[in-house]
Amino acid sequence: MAWYPLKLNGYVFSEVDKSRCKVLVPANSVQQYREATEWKEFTHFVPMNYRFTLSFSQPENGTLQLLNDSTPVQDGAEFAQSTLFKLSLHCNEGYEFDKLIINGVNFDFWVHEFLLMDNTKIEVKLKPIQGPQKERLSRPLLSYFDTSQCFETLREKYQR
């Protein structure tokens, strides 16, 4: 089961009585499946609700805080699929952001929010500040991140 409707060959379901099938889909994806070309002829979509664990560790020389709404999140807490989180990073004096690691995938940009789509482990690496301040501030930032992007990145990395 995919978080988004898969694009399939038009003949995959040609011999299937779509009015008799139950298609299990993530609760937040039902409408997308109903509208997708390959899936819209099915009449019974069953929303599935999933819960995932969010783990994170504190970086050396700084503090990472995750918030669900305005409530601080504890390491190892469990949440419903598609829960939105805000990330806040405080670097100790003399240190700056280096990389964000989500489920083992390195990202050299910071995100302020992310959507939980699977069990997720977050790590942040900091480095000593070197060079002028303007170089530090030129690092790209994202305001929103979907953790499924990590799995797409991994998939692309290992399919080469």
> Could you read off the pLDDT of 41-80 as tens digits, one per residue?
899 988 887 889 999 999 999 999 999 988 999 999 999 8
Distance CA 118, CA 143 (A): 20
Shared domain check, 99 and 128: yes
| Stretch (H or E) spanning 151 | helix 148-159
Full domain range(s) for residue 32: 1-48
For residues 30 and 101, state if they share a domain.
Answer: no
Nearest to 157 by CA among 79, 118, 98, 103: 103
Residues 102 and 77 in one domain: yes
Both 61 and 1 in a single domain? no
Are both 151 and 72 inside the same structural domain? yes
Query: Chain centroid to CA 132: how far?
Result: 33
Tell whether 59 and 135 lie within a shared domain: yes
Of the given ranges (76-80, 118-122, 142-146), which has the lowest mean pLDDT? 142-146
Of 31, 48, 65, the residue at which a domain comes to its end is 48
- Is the per-residue pLDDT at 130 higher than 70? yes
Same domain for 44 and 98: no
What is the pLDDT of the chain when averaged over all its residues? 81
Residues 42 and 59 in one domain: no
**One domain, residues 39 and 11:** yes
Domain co-membership, 97 together with 117: yes
Which of 31-40, 49-58, 76-85, 146-155 has the least mean pLDDT? 146-155
Report the candidate in 35, 28, 48, 25 with the shortest Cα–Cα distance to residue 116. 28
Do 5 and 60 fall into the same domain? no
Residues 150, 106: Cα–Cα separation, whole Å: 9
Report the Cα–Cα distance between both ends of the chain, in Å, rounded.
24
* pLDDT number for residue 136: 46
CA distance 118 to 102: 11
Please give the tally of structural domains in the chain. Answer: 2
Under DSSP, the state recorded for 118 is: S
Same domain, yes or no: 57 and 23:
no
Measured over all CA atoms, what is the biggest interatomic distance in the chain, rounded to whole angstroms?
65
User: C-alpha angle 1/47/148, rounded to 5°?
Assistant: 45
30, 48, 66 - which closes a domain: 48
